[in-house]
A and B are shown apart, each in its own frame.
Chain A
């Protein structure tokens, strides 16, 4: 049983609080992704599990063992680093065998495990090469292989794909995910890339300034962000967040008024009328069709300022009475020559946040 439990974990560098009261449980065999902007303390959190940083306060358990004072080599973890960190003077085989040799694993057992890991990763022909004779993707495979042969209870990945080019990154993403399915071992994976987090994690943990913002399954986090930070961080392009006041059946946003037909009172707990922020994901917009009066959708009008197209989709940057929004729409799109557009969005898909606490005001189900 290799769950990882964080209990009131703090980390200070000098007097700088880098991890602030982190509480979380990674379940056995789970793939958890820690995601957040650069400098938010992701690596530090992972390194505390690895034993590369001391734990300033609180405790971390792996399985049923508190590992605060256990030396890294006895924690039964293996870690993959962003810069691969392969030993340049050893060939691939030796790189993978190194950790086992240090643990006095018998040579034939080492050979067996390295062979198996090499097969899993498709690097059997590279075993005699030195790291500098490998491409970036191959190096990363070796780094993963070095972790696999150790057969640890927990795998730790610190931004392992950041140094790869975009195409390889997508490919390795899938491979690591498959690896998890195959090995069924607890994995903790750190990245700043929310797409990586969304696609790989069984659950994702969003950190900001060392504080846990939200943890949950990727789609739950996407659908029900608990605060403005998560709402803006997850999803690309970012959610549109508009300062609004609420009145009967209307949301007033600057001089725009959006008819909400009483729907939002059902979903949100709105105790005051002002000080809210309305969130709409760019992908939730659709072009209005004439004569549409669906009570569950709202309409917003604006003037198109910029169109970006990737072929499969089109990003419309538009201005609605001084408020700038982005909409993500399909590919074949007709923008009226006067640049005036009218977009619809389903009311169930909107988000409301309290502007002062930045928390979601969604009613609990």
Chain B
């Protein structure tokens, strides 16, 4: 008994260590983004790797901003200004209180003075750098409409595949699945050409319509629907349900797990979509968040602090949303594998 308990404990510990390790790896870029969003440009570009934003403390000497160092000198610690670097790793420091006396010490042995400093101003600056309010509305609008359409049309198709008999049903379904094997990149140009011919480029239609159906969703819904008893459809038919009546009154209420799962996945996908909106839209008033973010990257130099601040606030709604649906999401993930 005791040994079993121990084994249990050890395996649990191992699992937890692995999970913690994994979550650190997953979380690190995220934390780095937040950290960078609060840094000044100079410290972002400096060589030092700091999680907590700090700035080099400087002081004005002869009209020039010069960095302060924590210098050990004559067995005492003193804040001194770096005046200039000399040969062989030596540097000249002066005491700001006593600017006429200078000392020469090895530079690498001295610590620069870098107090914590949070550049909150990055956030309003980023927000004001571009019309992010508009971007948010665009993203929310495009994501919501394409997700709702996708759930509706995909589940309708899956409903037909799962419950109806029609000629070539399986052949059509396999053909649909086959289209999943084409890489997205290969479709970019043909899709673009189609939209151009429809004169839909640079409209909301270009952002929404291509995502109103998804083979993956059809497949996922169909697999779920097939686990529901067929008698249910027969019973509803005898009870007087039309095809759409069954869909709305029975099928949808019983299929919340796949609706939720697919809804979240495609919402995330739409929120994070970049290449497609980038190539099919041009106007600022149609621009979505991800494309807007890319505008911080420019030939003239990237405003990393602003980019990271904007990246952070564009993720916030997703994180908040996730906390709300988290419980249902985990449940539905677990439920989609079950029969009842």
Which A residues contact B (CB, under 8 angstroms)?
47, 50-52, 72-73, 77-79, 81-89, 98-99, 102-103, 132, 146, 150
Closest 9 CB pairs of A and B: A73-B240, A85-B231, A99-B239, A85-B235, A102-B240, A81-B231, A89-B253, A79-B238, A83-B231
B241 and A102 form a contact (CB under 8 A):
yes
A102 and B245 form a contact (CB under 8 A):
yes
Whether B234 sits at the interface, judged by CB under 8 Å, is yes
A89 and B254 form a contact (CB under 8 A):
yes
Q: Using Cβ atoms and an 8 Å threshold, which residues of chain A touch B238?
A: 50-52, 72-73, 77-79, 99
Residue among B234, B239, B254 making CB contact with A98, cutoff 8 Å: B239
Q: Using Cβ atoms and an 8 Å threshold, which residues of chain A touch B236?
A: 87, 98
Instruction: Output the nearest chain B residue to A103 by Cβ-Cβ distance.
Output: B240
A81 and B235 form a contact (CB under 8 A):
yes
**Complex formed: what's the CA distance from A81 to B239 in Å?**
12
Residue from B234, B236, B237 having most chain A Cβ neighbours under 10 A: B234
Apart from the given pairs A73-B241, A85-B231, A146-B235, 12 other A-B contacts in the complex at a CB distance below 8 Å:
A50-B234, A52-B234, A52-B237, A73-B237, A77-B238, A81-B234, A87-B236, A89-B254, A98-B236, A98-B239, A132-B340, A150-B239
Q: Using Cβ atoms and an 8 Å threshold, which residues of chain A touch B231?
A: 81-85
Q: Using Cβ atoms and an 8 Å threshold, which residues of chain B touch A72?
A: 237-238, 240
Q: Contact flags (1/0) for B238-259 with A, using CB distance below 8 Å?
A: 1111000100011001100000
Q: What is the CB-to-nearest-CB distance from A75 to chain B, in angstroms, rounded to a whole number?
A: 8
- In residues 263-307 of chain B, which contact A (Cβ within 8 Å)? none
Q: Secondary structure of the B side of the interface?
A: helix
Whether B180 sits at the interface, judged by CB under 8 Å, is no
Q: Using Cβ atoms and an 8 Å threshold, which residues of chain B touch A50?
A: 234, 238
Q: Known contacts A73-B237, A132-B340; decide if A85 and B245 are in contact (CB<8 Å).
A: no
Whether B317 sits at the interface, judged by CB under 8 Å, is no
Q: List 12 A-B contacts (CB under 8 A).
A: A52-B238, A73-B237, A73-B240, A73-B241, A81-B231, A81-B235, A86-B235, A87-B235, A87-B236, A89-B253, A102-B240, A146-B235
Residue among A47, A85, A132, A146 making CB contact with B232, cutoff 8 Å: A85
Q: What is the CB-to-nearest-CB distance from B145 to chain A, in angstroms, rounded to a whole number?
A: 27
A87 and B250 form a contact (CB under 8 A):
yes
Instruction: Output the nearest chain A residue to B256 by Cβ-Cβ distance.
Output: A89
**Complex formed: what's the CA distance from A85 to B241 in Å?**
14
**Complex formed: what's the CA distance from A265 to B119 in Å?**
114
Q: Using Cβ atoms and an 8 Å threshold, which residues of chain A touch B232?
A: 85, 87
Whether B229 sits at the interface, judged by CB under 8 Å, is yes
Q: What is the CB-to-nearest-CB distance from A88 to chain B, in angstroms, rounded to a whole number?
A: 6
Q: What is the CB-to-nearest-CB distance from B98 to chain A, in angstroms, rounded to a whole number?
A: 83
Q: What is the CB-to-nearest-CB distance from A89 to chain B, in angstroms, rounded to a whole number?
A: 5
Residue from B237, B239, B249 having most chain A Cβ neighbours under 10 A: B239
Q: Known contacts A73-B240, A99-B240, A102-B241; decide if A85 and B254 are in contact (CB<8 Å).
A: no
**Complex formed: what's the CA distance from A82 to B37 in Å?**
63
B253 and A102 form a contact (CB under 8 A):
no
Q: What is the CB-to-nearest-CB distance from B255 to chain A, in angstroms, rounded to a whole number?
A: 10
**Complex formed: what's the CA distance from A117 to B241 in Å?**
21
**Complex formed: what's the CA distance from A132 to B238 in Å?**
22
**Complex formed: what's the CA distance from A77 to B236 in Å?**
13
A73 and B235 form a contact (CB under 8 A):
no
Q: What is the CB-to-nearest-CB distance from B250 to chain A, in angstroms, rounded to a whole number?
A: 6
Q: What is the CB-to-nearest-CB distance from B18 to chain A, in angstroms, rounded to a whole number?
A: 37
Q: What is the CB-to-nearest-CB distance from A230 to chain B, in angstroms, rounded to a whole number?
A: 30
- In residues 199-248 of chain B, which contact A (Cβ within 8 Å)? 229, 231-232, 234-241, 245
Q: Using Cβ atoms and an 8 Å threshold, which residues of chain B touch A81?
A: 231, 234-235
Q: Using Cβ atoms and an 8 Å threshold, which residues of chain A touch B340?
A: 88, 132
Q: What is the CB-to-nearest-CB distance from A62 to chain B, in angstroms, rounded to a whole number?
A: 13
**Complex formed: what's the CA distance from A79 to B239 in Å?**
9
